[in-house]
A and B are shown apart, each in its own frame.
Chain A
Amino acid sequence: MITFQLNNRAVAFDLDPDTPLLWVVRDHFKLKGSKFGCGMGLCGACTMHVNGEALRTCTLPVSAVQGAAITTIEGLGTPNNMHPLQQAWVEHSVPQCGYCQSGQLMSASALLSKNPNPSDDEIHAAMDGNICRCGTYGKIKAAIKSSAAAMRSGALAESAVQSFDPANRGVES
């Protein structure tokens, strides 16, 4: 019996422990947002967060995630409560066929959670494992940058307010 957190929900899986996490999530727990693309960890369509790290789950046996916290695209945000990156994806009209985009978003969100102001090279490195056949790379990059900027300016605005708040005078922000 393998137990783990799937989008903040405790779940258990008791079939073949060598089953890749992707198929457990898609076919056993019926979350279909994560996609199968290559089965060799080469295309990134299956990317999920495992304890916050973006990993390819088509080659990751479910036994390796015992006790781990797994986040899929369904856990990143919902149509009514989107993650800022998902909002940017919609505003930039990123997807074409859309099949790779769950994986792209999971790689991008893992990047921004660690690096709120990534350079082009850092974006390229973080997104290198995700293939898009429709050619949306340019828009993905633009959406990551605008989302990062929006998240940063949100944080900066907040800290700016705090620094001008008399109650916080003298407090490092």
Chain B
Amino acid sequence: MNTRSLTRRRFLLTTGAVASGLIVGCSTSHAKSVGYAPVVGAFEPNSFIQITSDNQVIFYLPSSEMGQGILDGLSTLIAEELRVSPELIEVRHASLHEDYKNPEMKMQATGGSNATRAQFLPIRQAAADAAAAIRNAAAQQLNQPVDKLLLADGQVLADGQRYAYSEFVALAAALPVPENSPLRSPQQFDQIGRERPRLDALAKSTGTAIFGIDAEVENLYRAVVVRAPVVGAAVQRFDGTAALQQAGVVDVIELRHGVAVVADSYWRARKAAESIEVNWTQTELAGWSSDSLYQEFVETLNDASEKGLECCLEGEGDKLLDQAEHRVSADYFAPYLAHATMEPLNCTVEIDGDSCAVYVGTQSVQASAGAAVYYGDFDADKVKMHPAFLGGGFGRRGLGDDVAEAVEIARKTGRNIQVVWSREDDMRNDFYRPPALVRMQAGVSNQGIIETWSVRRVGPNIMDHVLDQWVDVLAPDYLNKGFVDWLSKFGYSVFKRFKADPSAGDGIYNDYDTPNKEVRHIPRDPGLRTGFWRAVGNSSNAFFKECFIDELAQRAGIDELAFRLANLQNNPRLKNATQLVAEKAGWGKPLAAGHFHGLAVHSSFGSAVAQIAEVSVEGDKIIVHRVTAAIDCGTVVNPGIVRDAVEGGIIYGLTTALYGEITLKEGVVEQSNFHNYPMLRMAETPAVDVHIVASQEHPEGVGEPGLPPLAPAVANAVFKATGQRLRHLPLRLS
């Protein structure tokens, strides 16, 4: 070893230490959105990790961070296997690439609460292989046996000396990257399972986190879109003369679905938009109001000729209903809901001839890029994606409609364009949680065993509308547009005639041991577009199922907890969570005067959640004082984030249970902003205690499973308090 290399090593050791010192506490703060960019001199073992010659570890986050904590979760996995402090990892939102596809969904998207489950092993493997490569390079460079080298805190420990990883990146880059390197065992975990403040807390507490809406590019014009009052209508004719004369307005153009006003500032575009009069085409939806929805659904359910599509058929189905000692039947209803993410939809497009850059917070970089290709008529390799933090997702951000109109405007005007939807635009042009009317029937023995479980439900599908969006933006670009349009409409016929929409049956029959089950779904769609909404089918099906379970227990004269436990023999995780929540909340023990407990339990997205709501009623007002929850989600990466996600689901669910309802009058969504689509505020927020079942099983979902049990837990408590069985959402006492 010559003097020169020793000097170089000392130099690197020093700079490595200094760089680390500078980065502490803010390395992940901005989550830069630059996409994968090769770094000169860096070791780049795969698409996820770069280790630079100045000892910076960069992680390309393949999933969208919308509050659920996946930035923290996946960075923790990298830290665990690469043996670096998670606070020192610089996280960047990954741009579009095959390697960032979610392994379960086979597309680059974030949803279905599966980002940790699906990536728990591959992300760790990527980091473990990178660590092994550094170790091999160090062994060769230091002329030491590889098993004498330890990795810790971003350093190689050899013979009592510490060397920054950066010292070995040049050699590591020249050697083959090992594959299938052993992963650390749960007994070795010192990052996975550790509780610490989430990595993006600092950026999000100092206004420095960059969301899609914060994009700024040179020569940026702002567009406001005048949208049809009835979603789906198109422009017949419009007069933009007055708007064009207003200060700062540069373009007024017709779009597929509206008129865009482009100006040099958002406010000028918004003001000018008010002067535009549009004649819209008539659509079928314009003749329809939601006050007839319930009656239409009742008539459909009562029509015996409507057999519906099978979601589930086990044992004798519903044939033995009449033979049961107790036969119980009840109809339940849930309305349309909007997502109301805090950040309204928006998209910024920078256009340069035949290429463009898209800045957007999206649940699917792939669908967003596809929207730019399809609606902006760009070649796929001419679209560069700049994903950002999402100001809430909940299933709304990933259908590409935000990108579609921004690229359309940029293409037609040739300008760099930012479109920020107003709250009214966002609420009235959503892909709504579908309503449903459900006839629950069960046969129960005197001992409280559910013998037959029958569900007949009616409501709109989700897939019809989602496929209509997705086929357009996800179809390979060698397919011609006519074929793609045909394909997207084909979805309608599949789920209308042949196969039940998967969301229709989500969670409505799986939890309890019942030998005979039959669930059938009758698709009926007034035409308002629907989509994924936090917990999807579970969001309403858990309400139907868990309120009905209380009805069964009460009919059989058995305590609601005991009834559930007796029927959960084959569902140990949910049974265990149920027992835990009962113990923690003190089920059956005296409460403050006028306070009542309601219990609901539900498995979704691989996790089991049980909740007990403590409720009182004053006049017609429902007050939720405390919610106790227990979750079994397998291995926990950061317990604080699991508790936050469950609490978040509870608060989101309580807004829905108490207030959530989207209604239509002659096709127009009546709600427009937070005054008529109210949100839970701090004073109404219950205390929430979340208990996590210790587990070394594979991790499961946490972003959504906290929501479904909340509404039925509250409704079940309201029944105890008032004797009123509220079978419609939102919960309203009469």
Whether B423 and A72, one on each chain, are in contact in the complex, defined by CB atoms closer than 8 angstroms, is: no
Q: Report the minimum CB–CB distance from B636 to chain A (whole Å).
A: 15
Whether A33 and B206, one on each chain, are in contact in the complex, defined by CB atoms closer than 8 angstroms, is: yes
Whether A128 and B673, one on each chain, are in contact in the complex, defined by CB atoms closer than 8 angstroms, is: no
Q: Which of A53-93 contact B (CB under 8 A)?
A: 72-74, 77-80, 82, 86, 89-93
Residues of B close to A102: CB separation below 8 A? 207
- Report the nearest B residue to A62, measured CB to CB: B267
Q: List 22 A-B contacts (CB under 8 A).
A: A18-B271, A19-B267, A32-B214, A33-B208, A38-B674, A40-B673, A79-B25, A79-B26, A79-B206, A90-B201, A91-B197, A92-B197, A93-B201, A93-B641, A94-B201, A96-B68, A97-B204, A97-B343, A132-B651, A133-B392, A135-B650, A138-B687
Whether A96 and B267, one on each chain, are in contact in the complex, defined by CB atoms closer than 8 angstroms, is: no
A19 to B389, CA, bound (A): 27
Per a CB cutoff under 8 Å, which of A28, A98, A130 touches B209?
A98
Q: Report the minimum CB–CB distance from B425 to chain A (whole Å).
A: 10
Residues of A close to B25: CB separation below 8 A? 79
A124 to B685, CA, bound (A): 10
Whether A82 and B205, one on each chain, are in contact in the complex, defined by CB atoms closer than 8 angstroms, is: yes
If the complex has contacts A42-B675, A136-B648, are A23 and B267 also in contact, measured as CB distance less than 8 A?
A: yes
Residues of A close to B209: CB separation below 8 A? 98
Whether B423 and A96, one on each chain, are in contact in the complex, defined by CB atoms closer than 8 angstroms, is: no
Residues of A close to B648: CB separation below 8 A? 96, 134-136
Whether A124 and B675, one on each chain, are in contact in the complex, defined by CB atoms closer than 8 angstroms, is: no
Q: Report the minimum CB–CB distance from A119 to chain B (whole Å).
A: 12
If the complex has contacts A42-B675, A97-B390, are A32 and B197 also in contact, measured as CB distance less than 8 A?
A: no
A100 to B393, CA, bound (A): 14
A33 to B210, CA, bound (A): 8
Chain B 176-218, CB-CB to A under 8 Å as 1, else 0, gives: 0000000000000000000001101111111111110110100
- Report the nearest A residue to B645, measured CB to CB: A96
Whether B206 and A93, one on each chain, are in contact in the complex, defined by CB atoms closer than 8 angstroms, is: no
- Report the nearest A residue to B688, measured CB to CB: A138
Residues of B close to A100: CB separation below 8 A? 342, 391
- Report the nearest A residue to B651, measured CB to CB: A135
Q: Report the minimum CB–CB distance from B215 to chain A (whole Å).
A: 9
Whether A141 and B682, one on each chain, are in contact in the complex, defined by CB atoms closer than 8 angstroms, is: yes
B679 interfacial contact with A, CB 8 Å: yes
Whether B67 and A36, one on each chain, are in contact in the complex, defined by CB atoms closer than 8 angstroms, is: no
Q: Which of B541-591 contact A (CB under 8 A)?
A: none
Per a CB cutoff under 8 Å, which of B391, B423, B682 touches A99?
B391
If the complex has contacts A20-B267, A38-B673, are A98 and B206 also in contact, measured as CB distance less than 8 A?
A: no
The listed residue with most B CB atoms (<10 A of its CB), out of A27, A39, A93, is: A93
Residues of B close to A37: CB separation below 8 A? 342-344, 423
A92 to B682, CA, bound (A): 17
B644 interfacial contact with A, CB 8 Å: yes
Whether B206 and A82, one on each chain, are in contact in the complex, defined by CB atoms closer than 8 angstroms, is: yes
Whether A99 and B392, one on each chain, are in contact in the complex, defined by CB atoms closer than 8 angstroms, is: yes
Residues of A close to B394: CB separation below 8 A? 133
Whether A128 and B197, one on each chain, are in contact in the complex, defined by CB atoms closer than 8 angstroms, is: no
A150 interfacial contact with B, CB 8 Å: no
Residues of A close to B650: CB separation below 8 A? 135
A95 interfacial contact with B, CB 8 Å: yes
Known: A16-B268, A137-B681. 15 other contacts (CB 8 A): A23-B267, A27-B266, A30-B216, A39-B422, A39-B673, A93-B197, A93-B201, A95-B205, A98-B391, A132-B342, A134-B67, A137-B680, A137-B682, A139-B644, A141-B682
Residues of A close to B318: CB separation below 8 A? none
Residues of B close to A86: CB separation below 8 A? 205-206
Chain B 673-700, CB-CB to A under 8 Å as 1, else 0, gives: 1110001111101011000000000000
Q: Report the minimum CB–CB distance from A139 to chain B (whole Å).
A: 8
- Report the nearest B residue to A132, measured CB to CB: B342
B533 interfacial contact with A, CB 8 Å: no
A148 interfacial contact with B, CB 8 Å: no
Per a CB cutoff under 8 Å, which of B198, B675, B682 touches A93?
B198
Q: Report the minimum CB–CB distance from A108 to chain B (whole Å).
A: 11
A134 to B645, CA, bound (A): 8
Q: Which of B67-90 contact A (CB under 8 A)?
A: 67-69
Q: Report the minimum CB–CB distance from B207 to chain A (whole Å).
A: 2
Q: Report the minimum CB–CB distance from A9 to chain B (whole Å).
A: 16
If the complex has contacts A86-B206, A90-B197, A99-B343, are A128 and B423 also in contact, measured as CB distance less than 8 A?
A: no
Q: Report the minimum CB–CB distance from B495 to chain A (whole Å).
A: 30
Q: Report the minimum CB–CB distance from A13 to chain B (whole Å).
A: 11
Chain B 1-42, CB-CB to A under 8 Å as 1, else 0, gives: 000000000000000000000000110010000000000000
A151 interfacial contact with B, CB 8 Å: no
Residues of A close to B248: CB separation below 8 A? 15
A65 to B729, CA, bound (A): 44
Residues of A close to B501: CB separation below 8 A? none
> Which 10 residue pairs of A and B lie closest in terms of their CB atoms, listed nearest first?
A33-B207, A135-B651, A98-B204, A99-B391, A97-B67, A73-B207, A96-B67, A95-B204, A89-B205, A124-B683
A82 to B343, CA, bound (A): 24
Residues of B close to A93: CB separation below 8 A? 197-198, 201, 640-641, 644
A79 to B29, CA, bound (A): 9
Q: Report the minimum CB–CB distance from B119 to chain A (whole Å).
A: 20
Residues of B close to A82: CB separation below 8 A? 205-206
Per a CB cutoff under 8 Å, which of B200, B207, B213 touches A72?
B207
Whether A90 and B202, one on each chain, are in contact in the complex, defined by CB atoms closer than 8 angstroms, is: yes
A136 to B211, CA, bound (A): 18
Per a CB cutoff under 8 Å, which of B208, B214, B647, B652 touches A138?
B647
Q: Report the minimum CB–CB distance from A165 to chain B (whole Å).
A: 35
The listed residue with most A CB atoms (<10 A of its CB), out of B26, B29, B342, B422, is: B342
- Report the nearest B residue to A15, measured CB to CB: B265
Q: Report the minimum CB–CB distance from B625 to chain A (whole Å).
A: 13
A40 to B389, CA, bound (A): 24
- Report the nearest B residue to A32, measured CB to CB: B214
B66 interfacial contact with A, CB 8 Å: yes
Residues of B close to A140: CB separation below 8 A? 682
Q: Report the minimum CB–CB distance from A25 to chain B (whole Å).
A: 11
Per a CB cutoff under 8 Å, which of B197, B203, B393, B681 touches A79?
B203
Per a CB cutoff under 8 Å, which of B213, B268, B649, B682 touches A128?
B682
Residues of B close to A96: CB separation below 8 A? 67-69, 644-645, 648
A37 to B425, CA, bound (A): 12
If the complex has contacts A36-B344, A135-B647, are A95 and B207 also in contact, measured as CB distance less than 8 A?
A: no
The listed residue with most A CB atoms (<10 A of its CB), out of B25, B268, B685, is: B685
Whether B205 and A90, one on each chain, are in contact in the complex, defined by CB atoms closer than 8 angstroms, is: yes
A62 to B133, CA, bound (A): 57
Chain B 644-677, CB-CB to A under 8 Å as 1, else 0, gives: 1101111110000000000000000000011100
A6 interfacial contact with B, CB 8 Å: no
Whether B203 and A135, one on each chain, are in contact in the complex, defined by CB atoms closer than 8 angstroms, is: no
Per a CB cutoff under 8 Å, which of B29, B198, B342 touches A43?
B342
A42 to B673, CA, bound (A): 8
A137 to B624, CA, bound (A): 14
B300 interfacial contact with A, CB 8 Å: no
Chain B 266-303, CB-CB to A under 8 Å as 1, else 0, gives: 11100100000000000000000000000000000000
Chain A 21-49, CB-CB to B under 8 Å as 1, else 0, gives: 00100011011111111111011010000
